[in-house]
Structure 1
Amino acid sequence: MAENRKKRYFFVDQSLIMYSGHCYEYFKPLKDIVEARGEKAILIGNLAAEKQLIEETGTIPLLTYWCDERNVGQPLGLSTKENYDAIRASHEYALARDLSKLNQMFDISSNDMIIINTIKHWGIRGVVDWVESLPSEKRPFVTMIFHFTGLPEPNLYDHAIDHYRDAFARIEGSVTSKNFYLLADSEQLVAEYEELTSLNIDLAPIPHTISHVASSNPIAGAPLRIGYSGEARIHKGFHLLPFVARFMEKRPPSRPVEFHLHAYCLNPRAEFFQTAMAQLEQCRNVVLYKEIMGPESYRNFIGTIDVFLIPYALSNYYRQTSGIYTEAIALGKPAVVSRGTWMASQLKRHGGGRECIADDHMSLLLAVRDVVENYDALRAEALEIQKSWLKFHQPGVLLSMIDHAAIKVENRKFHEMSV
């Protein structure tokens, strides 16, 4: 009988394609805890998952669309709203079908835990459709973790906000609503969603704090290592880095610095990337890392960074979190972040870094120089923040929240049956 099976955890992510990004890093510490308890943990990724990821992690390639895939074969000539609705319909159908395949592969039961990460407004109702299609005694407990705002540009309307409202209404009106646990990973996102629904949405800890990474201290007399990690993207400020590096090469601060930049770009032909790389490759104070980093090389890389550069655009990040910032704080390292972002709100609350104006190379330069000149004090602040940060932002905390939410549902079901 399905009810007598051992609990299984299915970690599902439409964007789990390669090591780049934080999709695998998000799930890995959760998977490690589950397996250490003697329970089964299964990674479910995109159909396009790379061979290396599949072979090294056991990821099962299953999901049709990337979480924000917008080329789904919809007809041309649609209005913006019609286009949005057509994309949503394709995502919903595909995700419900993909999860039905998951059921066929594993015979999903009510003991199973489905944890879906990085899901967007496009596919949420498809998950509800799938759960409703199952017999009541086979419906799993489904956790959805939201990371995306429905209003990517501050104060500008986007049809995504209506899709989120529709999705929450679909859950709320479903006979399976008690099978869902909803989380968002920033206070700003929780507040946004709570304006759209009466459903409870909890604040999620960010699990990939990698507190086990060996965090180095600057070597006396050696240059401070100024680091940029993650994929090179224009909305993450990669194009600003050449100016900062070249200026500090010509006019060095009182303390020597060296820039260690993860320079992998998904589209290496992008003009911003080619322009930036042509300049960075001429800088003697820059070390470039041009390949995707696997988990071990990534941990080694960030463990040696002294100052993290996170000069992201306000779009999305005024409410969305940054995994890089989370890792910087977990390592007790100062960071430079863009004013008005979620990261800046954390900086104002805790300290441990400096702000710059988004998409402003001179502001970024001044902030970096300020951190370098005041490094020892800011490093001490960051180490203090680290202690409180890790009390909440830990994989064990997130997994406990999910487990407790599932137990509450089971207890409620038992109570209703006994009555």
Structure 2
Amino acid sequence: MSQIINIVEPTLTSEAGHCFSFVSSLCQADQKTRFILWGNHLSSLTLPAKNVELKKYFFRKIRKIQSFFLYKKLLATQEKILVSTAGRVDLAVFDWVSKGVIPPNKVYFYFHWINDSHKKIARLKQLAIKQPNLVILGPTDSVVKVFQEAGFKQAHLVPYPVSAVVSKNPAQATPFSRVWFAGAARQDKGFDKVVDLIEHVGNLGIDIPFTLQTSSDHFGKYDAETKADIARLKKLTYAHLQMCADTLSTEAYSRLFIGAICIQPYRTADFADRISGVTLDALSAGSPVVTSAGTWIARQVERFDAGIIVDTTSPEHLLAAIKKVIAEYKYYSEKAVTAGQTLQDEHSANHLANVILANNI
């Protein structure tokens, strides 16, 4: 009988965003395992493989209460559990609903990032003593170190899995086609800087094609600043702008990287050591990256010379970087292809699958 892995992702509603990419790449890494995805009750996604079952379970406003009952139910089974976008609350709830020490190789938490405040670290230390068998996984050393220092014996670095779609389609260097802002429109991702840039380019009378995703992160919600930026963007008369407000299929999203310059003016404070799935997608598709200095993204760009790093995200600096990449697009695209080939191996979903399915840590 094949293993059953329950993947809990309350925000999973469609193919948009990297929560789907994350779970999809894992599910496709092992066709012999049965996966059960516990997603949002409005989920409309296409299942990534025949070995996957979707449970439309979570309601946004009561998802924390629902998680209590779901975790209690799943702990009573012989099945494994992965919380694919974990938070401290998930650790606490599992401890709360358990009848004692949770057994080894039962529950796995993937923390994409974490804020290591002293008050919260004290609580983590208590949980590490009470539940020594919880397996904590993270994409960077800084994330894993927080849990190791809190006392978790099973805290391990596991690379963030690259999209299964882009990894199946080897990239080739192609001519320049567009500047591409991919992913949710958010302030920490510098969406306001991109709007400033397009306004600046329009005022200069320069003809550079831009394509922007203006979709929200989850549940169709934007913060007030991003709403204002989108309204400002719609008022611009720049003729070379394409906005993608609707959810893109995985294939349509991937195609937009071909011949593109992926612009990521992300906030350094938020992404200093935080993995970007967009960066992995871009380089895997042979798309050079323009990004902010001091970020994990910048370290990948510098490592492979696969784009330009800017010290400031002013419109003038971003435009200068874009112009340089356009002028030498063949060179930077070839560097991005090389980067993508390396990163697809380093960030293969097989690494995560080996940890969860084979207990290979």
TM-score, scaled to structure 1: 0.73
> For residues 54-112 of structure 1, what are the alpha-carbon distances to aligned partners after superposition, in whole Å with 9 as ceiling and x for unaligned?
8898531334668xxxxx8xxxxxxxxxxxxxxxxx95x65332212446xxx621xx2
Residue 283 of structure 1 corresponds to which residue in structure 2? 238
Which of 62, 74, 77 is 1:108 aligned to? 77
Following superposition, the deviation at residue 22 of structure 1 comes to 0.8
> For residues 245-293 of structure 1, what are the alpha-carbon distances to aligned partners after superposition, in whole Å with 9 as ceiling and x for unaligned?
344456577xx741121122334672122112322xx211212212011
Residue 215 of structure 2 corresponds to which residue in structure 1? 264
Following superposition, the deviation at residue 150 of structure 1 comes to 0.8
Which of 55, 60, 63 is 2:55 aligned to? 60
> For residues 291-322 of structure 1, what are the alpha-carbon distances to aligned partners after superposition, in whole Å with 9 as ceiling and x for unaligned?
011323223333x2521111111242122211
Paired letter, 2:91: I
Distance 1:252 1:399, change over 3 A: farther
Which of 234, 238, 241 is 2:187 aligned to? 234
Structure 1 CA distance for aligned equivalents of residues 93 and 12 of structure 2: 18
> For residues 150-197 of structure 1, what are the alpha-carbon distances to aligned partners after superposition, in whole Å with 9 as ceiling and x for unaligned?
15xxxxxx4xx53244235313333xx23x221111233233444433
Structure 2: runs of 5 or more not aligned? none
> For residues 186-230 of structure 1, what are the alpha-carbon distances to aligned partners after superposition, in whole Å with 9 as ceiling and x for unaligned?
2332334444335342221221333123646434xxx53211111
Query: Does the CA contact (< 8 Å) of 1:65 and 1:94 recur in 2?
Result: no
Distance 1:249 1:300, change over 3 A: same
Which of 155, 164, 168 is 1:212 aligned to? 168
> For residues 107-158 of structure 1, what are the alpha-carbon distances to aligned partners after superposition, in whole Å with 9 as ceiling and x for unaligned?
621xx2211111112221212333445996xx8611111112215xxxxxx4
Query: Does the CA contact (< 8 Å) of 1:181 and 1:402 recur in 2?
Result: no
1:173 aligns with 2:125: no
State percent identity of aligned pairs: 17
Residue 120 of structure 2 corresponds to which residue in structure 1? 163
Which of 72, 76, 89 is 1:122 aligned to? 89
SS of equivalent to 1:108: coil
Following superposition, the deviation at residue 352 of structure 1 comes to 0.9
Structure 1 CA distance for aligned equivalents of residues 143 and 86 of structure 2: 14
Residue 112 of structure 2 corresponds to which residue in structure 1? 147
Structure 2 CA distance for aligned equivalents of residues 11 and 311 of structure 1: 32
Residue 22 of structure 1 corresponds to which residue in structure 2? 18
Structure 1 CA distance for aligned equivalents of residues 161 and 25 of structure 2: 7
Q: RCO greater where, 1 or 2, for CA within 8 Å and sep 6 or more? A: 2
Which structure has the bigger radius of gyration? 1
Aligned CA RMSD, in angstroms, stands at 3.1
Residue 298 of structure 1 corresponds to which residue in structure 2? 253
Residue 355 of structure 2 corresponds to which residue in structure 1? 401
SS of equivalent to 2:168: coil
Distance 1:122 1:357, change over 3 A: farther
Structure 1: runs of 5 or more not aligned? 67-71, 73-89, 152-157, 409-419
Structure 1 CA distance for aligned equivalents of residues 312 and 129 of structure 2: 38
Structure 1 CA distance for aligned equivalents of residues 13 and 286 of structure 2: 30
Distance 1:134 1:192, change over 3 A: closer
